[in-house]
């Protein structure tokens, strides 16, 4: 019974196993990014980036036709450019990071729409560029796992400066030259995860897995490391639950996974011990 | 249909006679017309010849399901004398475009006289509501895919009355009903009601007075051009509309029609010949986009698609698992990719089941002029030969 419900779909079908592996890779790679994005109040960056990569994808399409590799590389370049420029502007001018990011992604989006229209074709680029979790082929899996590995190593190296940068960027800037390196590496990692995830899984999937588990984890633990750990667990559990729901009840997979993560978030919001709606009685009142 | 076509032929001669003396009065300026997508555009071009200036909105290899019109499109539409559309909810963006362009001319619905087939997927109760009671072709229409032998005869009677040129014998009475009605054809409101509602010849009378105003959209498979019988119906609509809009050149239009229909019929015979040899157990085809319902019905094949209906919907794991099971159970040896869709999912399924990718089929758009499916005729021939070579091997 339990076997049939929970494990049989994965045992019987290769595409289910691939989907799960892809989700685990995304969970490991993207959730830590999501935690830091949340702590830096940049949770909407993912959505903005989805638009920002369009011109890159369009240029890739113009050069190489409907080649996913070319379009992904193009998207990566465009996303990096937007992230770097907005990071640069926010560091050297008083404009806040969210505002400069919004400005750059709007420019980028407009350029993308223009380029696509000039070509005159109407194949829906975004549609072609964005994959689905059920159709992960070998290159897509390798891409996802590579990105997860790179992200994990980089995050491990940058963990301390990153936490400092979130907590007190002025302080970090004053004591270390690592500040700029940290900032831009982090943005690059975010773009890398987003573009790779778009290509393999679709926008909703990658942005959802990046942000929702991180937001849920916020209600369970106070330390950054703890949040990352809880976030990854929530992400993997939601992915598995979503895939199983999709399998047993014929639901579209991407939305099922994200809604599972959404339910985890809602539950955390209500019963989470750290700042959840149903708070434990304040200890200070007891004698 | 038959009587209608005869009438068109008679009309050809009559109009030719009538028009002959006025030949020198023909307007030299070609009439601006717009067709919504490449396949329809090709047909319009075949009939209109040099007398029209054709603009096709969704070009080769474009996906008309998710098309976004541009201002240039709106300008083309507003400048046009005639607008040719597929109908059956194929061009979801069209109404807004027409509103925006301020176009007030005639909208020619190519599927007006086509008998639409309901989508095989989705909620069957939906279809039941709309009065299929008279002959219930729905019932055998999607339960068992209905393309097996028993389904065919009664099918043909009920359903092909309007376009089945291979069943002259048993549709006399339907044809009469059609004759009575079919030639009021230039009444577009009536045509639209018909196009949307469709499948009963009996209901014509209460039909026209708008009994189906609250009809659900997107109930029928819009890819009607995938059967050559329907293509001939398209051509007839196009010819009638062009002749009405430009009577001076009507003789040419009817002449072009006659030549084109002859080509279509020859191609139909050719495709039947190509596909006839396939054994009974090798007539199931898997594609990425459910666009071949009419082709399947016309040539007695069964098409399965992992994502039903539209390029926009996302597959569920259950759909994919079901598809894999089916391919394994029925020993399906080839799956086919389509020109306009993302084929990664299909490639994965092929990989997992050991089936091979049989080739590329063209469903909703022609290829560029240099491609294998530059015209409607080439497209149909290409699809048939691709299918036959993969299934027959």
The pLDDT assigned to B122 comes to: 37
Tell me what pLDDT residue A263 has.
Answer: 95
Q: Which residues of A are less than 8 Å from B59 in CB distance?
A: 120-122
Q: How far is B361 from chain A (nearest CA, A)?
A: 17
Lowest pLDDT segment from A143-152, B5-14, B78-87: B5-14
Q: What is the pTM of this model?
A: 0.63
* Residue in chain B lying closest to A204 (CA): B314
Question: Are B307 and B316 within 8 A, CB to CB?
Answer: no
A contact test, residue of B63, B76, B316 with most A CBs within 10 A? B316
* Residue A7: DSSP 8-state: I
Grade residue B393 by pLDDT with cuts at 50, 70 and 90. Answer: low
Question: In A, which residues are within 8 Å of B329 by CB distance?
Answer: none
Residue whose token pair is 């396939």: B278
Between the alpha carbon of residue A210 and those of residues A215, B201, B305, B336, the distances in Å are 9, 56, 32, 35
User: What phi and psi, each to the nearest 5 degrees, are found at residue B76?
Assistant: -60, -45
pLDDT of residue B121: 45
How far apart, in whole angstroms, are the C-alpha atoms of residue B373 and residue B368? Answer: 7
Distance CA B93, CA B324 (A): 34
Q: Which of A43-57, B161-175, B288-302, B354-368 has the lowest mean pLDDT?
A: B161-175
Mean pLDDT check: name the lowest of B143-152, B231-240, B310-319.
B143-152
Sign of the alpha-carbon torsion through B240, B243, B245, B247? negative
Task: Indicate yes or no: CB of B320 within 8 angstroms of CB of A15.
Answer: yes
- As to burial, measured by CB atoms within 10 angstroms (0-12 exposed, 13-18 middle, 19+ buried), residue A223 is exposed
Give the per-residue pLDDT at B4. Answer: 60
| pLDDT at residue B148 in the model | 38
User: Which of residues 94 through 123 in chain B touch A, CB cutoff 8 A?
Assistant: none
DSSP string, B192-211: HHHHHH-S-STTHHHHHTTT
Contact B98, B77 (CB under 8 A): yes
| Residues of A in Cβ contact (< 8 Å) with B313 | 252
Q: Is B151 left (phi over 0), alpha (psi -120 to 50) or beta?
A: alpha
Percentage of chain B lying above the pLDDT 70 cut: 62
Decide if A9 and B320 are in contact by the 8 Å CB cutoff: no
Average pLDDT over residues B305-323: 64
Give pLDDT, residue A121: 53
- Check: CB of residue B170 under 8 Å from CB of residue B126: no
The shortest CB-CB distance from A13 to any of B66, B324, B345 is to: B324
Spatial contact of B78 and B104, defined as CB atoms under 8 Å apart: no
Share of chain B above pLDDT 90, in %: 17
Distance from CA of B307 to the nearest CA of A (A): 10
Q: What is the pLDDT of residue B180?
A: 40
Cα B308 to Cα B119: distance, rounded to the nearest angstrom: 9
For chain B, what percentages of helix, strand and coil (3-state, to nearest 5) are there? 55, 10, 35
B42 pLDDT higher than 90: yes
DSSP letter assigned to residue A221: -
Condensed to tens digits (0 to 9), the pLDDT of residues A191-239 reads: 888 888 877 777 777 888 899 999 999 999 999 999 999 999 999 999 9
Nearest-CB residue to B316 (from A121, A140, A252): A252
Chain B residue numbers with beta carbons less than 8 Å from the beta carbon of A120 are 59
Fill in the DSSP letter of residue B41: H
pLDDT of residue A88: 84
Cβ–Cβ of A134/B345 closer than 8 Å?
Answer: yes
In tens, the pLDDT along B160-207 reads: 334 434 444 444 444 343 444 434 344 444 433 333 343 433 433 333
Residue of B59, B312, B314 for testing the chain A interface, max A β-carbons within 10 Å: B314
d(CA B11, CA B254): 8
Q: What is the pLDDT of residue B22?
A: 45
Q: What pLDDT shows up at residue A230? A: 95
Contact across the interface for B315 and A132, Cβ inside 8 Å: yes
- B333 forms beta bridges with none
| Interchain pair B59, A131: CB under 8 A | no
Of the pLDDT bands very low, low, confident and very high (cuts 50, 70, 90), residue B236 is very high
B25 touches A at CB < 8 Å:
no
**Which residue would you say has higher pLDDT here, B150 or A106?**
A106
Cβ–Cβ of B344/A135 closer than 8 Å? yes
Contacts of B314 in chain A (CB under 8 A): 132, 252-255
- Give which of A205, A246, A257 to mutate to test B binding, by max B Cβ within 10 Å: A246
Bridging pattern class, strands B302-304 and B356-361: unpaired
Q: What does the pLDDT read at residue A264?
A: 95
Give the nearest partner residue to A134 out of B62, B313, B317, using CB atoms. B317
The lowest-confidence range among A118-127, A197-206, B76-85, B343-352 is A118-127
At B109 the three-state DSSP class reads strand
Query: How close, in Å, is residue B309 to chain A by CA atoms?
Result: 14
Alpha carbon distance A157, B386 (integer Å): 55
pLDDT tens track for B101-128: 888 888 888 888 888 888 654 333 333 3
pLDDT given for residue B141 in this prediction = 36
Facing residue for A122 by CB, picked from B63, B342, B352: B63
ipTM over 0.85? The verdict is: no
B67 inside 8 A of chain A by CB: yes
Count contacts between A and B (CB, < 8 Å): 92
**A13 chain-B contacts, CB cut-off 8 A:** 320-321, 324, 352
B314–A255 C-beta distance less than 8 A? yes
Closest CA–CA distance from residue A123 to any residue of chain B (Å): 5
In tens digits, chain A (287 residues) has pLDDT values of 778 778 888 888 888 888 899 999 999 999 999 999 998 887 887 778 777 887 887 788 778 766 667 877 888 888 888 888 888 888 888 888 778 888 888 888 888 878 776 665 545 555 555 667 777 878 888 888 999 999 999 999 989 888 888 877 777 777 777 778 888 888 889 888 888 887 777 777 788 889 999 999 999 999 999 999 999 999 999 999 999 998 888 888 888 899 999 999 999 999 988 888 886 655 555 44
Whether the predicted pLDDT of B348 surpasses 90: no
DSSP secondary structure string, B128-184?
Answer: HTTTGGGT-HHHHHHSSTT-SHHHHHHHHHHHGGGT-TT--GGGHHHHHHHHHHHTT
Q: Do B62 and A122 touch (CB under 8 A)?
A: yes
B contact residues 303-342, partner A, Cβ 8 Å cutoff: 311-321, 324, 340, 342
């Amino acid at each position: 019974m339990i076997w049939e419900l929970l494990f049989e779909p994965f045992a019987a079908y290769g595409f289910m196993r691939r989907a799960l592996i892809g989700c685990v890779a995304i969970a490991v790679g993207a959730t830590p990014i999501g935690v830091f994005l949340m702590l830096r109040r940049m949770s909407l960056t993912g959505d903005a980036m989805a638009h920002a990569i369009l011109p890159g994808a369009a240029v890739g399409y113009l050069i190489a036709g409907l080649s996913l590799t070319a379009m992904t590389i193009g998207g990566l370049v465009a996303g990096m450019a937007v992230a770097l420029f907005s990071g640069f502007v926010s560091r050297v001018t008083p404009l806040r990071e969210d505002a400069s990011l919004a400005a750059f992604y709007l420019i980028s989006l407009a350029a993308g729409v223009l380029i696509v229209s000039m070509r005159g074709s109407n194949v829906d680029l975004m549609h072609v560029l964005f994959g689905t979790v059920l159709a992960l082929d070998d290159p897509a899996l390798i891409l996802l796992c590579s990105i997860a590995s790179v992200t994990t190593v980089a995050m491990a190296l940058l963990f301390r400066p990153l936490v400092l940068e979130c907590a007190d960027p002025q302080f970090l800037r004053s004591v270390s030259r690592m500040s700029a390196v940290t900032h831009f590496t982090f943005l690059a990692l975010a773009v890398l995860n987003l573009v790779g995830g778009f290509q393999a899984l679709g926008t909703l999937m990658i942005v959802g897995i990046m942000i929702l588990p991180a937001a849920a984890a916020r209600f369970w633990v106070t330390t950054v490391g703890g949040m990352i750990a809880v976030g990854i667990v929530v992400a993997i559990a939601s992915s598995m639950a979503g895939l199983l729901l999709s399998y047993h009840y014929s639901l579209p997979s991407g939305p099922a996974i994200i809604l599972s993560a959404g339910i985890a978030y809602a539950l955390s919001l209500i019963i989470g011990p750290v700042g959840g709606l149903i708070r434990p009685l304040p200890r200070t009142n007891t004698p | 249909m038959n009587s209608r076509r005869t009438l068109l032929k008679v009309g050809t001669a009559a109009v030719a006679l009538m028009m002959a003396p006025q030949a020198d009065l023909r307007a030299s300026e070609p009439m601006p017309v717009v067709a919504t997508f490449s396949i329809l555009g090709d047909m319009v071009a075949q009939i209109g010849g040099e007398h029209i200036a054709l603009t096709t909105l969704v070009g080769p290899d474009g996906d008309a399901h998710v098309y976004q019109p541009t201002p240039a499109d709106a300008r083309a539409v507003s400048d046009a004398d005639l607008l040719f559309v597929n109908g059956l909810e194929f061009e979801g963006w069209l109404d807004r475009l027409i509103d925006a362009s301020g176009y007030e001319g005639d909208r020619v619905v190519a599927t007006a006289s086509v008998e639409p087939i309901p989508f095989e997927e989705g909620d069957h109760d939906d279809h039941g509501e709309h009065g299929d009671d008279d002959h219930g072709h729905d019932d055998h229409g999607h339960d068992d895919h209905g393309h097996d032998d028993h389904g065919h005869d009664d099918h043909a009677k009920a359903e092909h009355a309007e376009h089945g040129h291979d069943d002259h014998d048993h549709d006399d009475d339907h044809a009469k009903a059609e004759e009575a009605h079919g030639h009021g054809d230039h009444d577009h409101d009536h045509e639209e009601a018909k196009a949307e509602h469709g499948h009963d010849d009996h209901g014509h009378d209460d039909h026209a007075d708008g009994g189906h105003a609250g009809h659900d959209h997107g109930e029928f498979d819009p890819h009607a051009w995938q059967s050559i019988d329907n293509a001939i119906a398209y051509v007839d609509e196009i010819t009638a509309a062009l002749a009405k809009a430009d009577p001076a050149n009507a003789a040419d239009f009817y002449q072009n029609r006659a030549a084109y229909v002859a080509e279509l019929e020859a191609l139909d015979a050719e495709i039947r010949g190509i596909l006839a040899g396939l054994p009974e157990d090798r007539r199931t085809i898997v594609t990425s986009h459910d666009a071949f319902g009419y082709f399947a019905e016309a040539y007695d094949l069964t098409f399965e698609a992992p994502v039903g209906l539209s390029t926009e919907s996302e597959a569920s794991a259950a759909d994919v698992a079901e598809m894999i099971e089916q391919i394994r159970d029925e020993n399906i040896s080839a799956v086919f990719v389509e020109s306009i869709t993302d084929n990664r999912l299909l490639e994965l399924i092929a990989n997992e089941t050991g089936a091979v990718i049989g080739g590329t089929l063209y469903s909703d758009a022609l290829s560029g002029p240099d491609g294998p499916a530059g015209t409607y005729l080439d497209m149909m021939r290409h699809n048939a030969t691709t299918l036959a070579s993969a299934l027959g091997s």
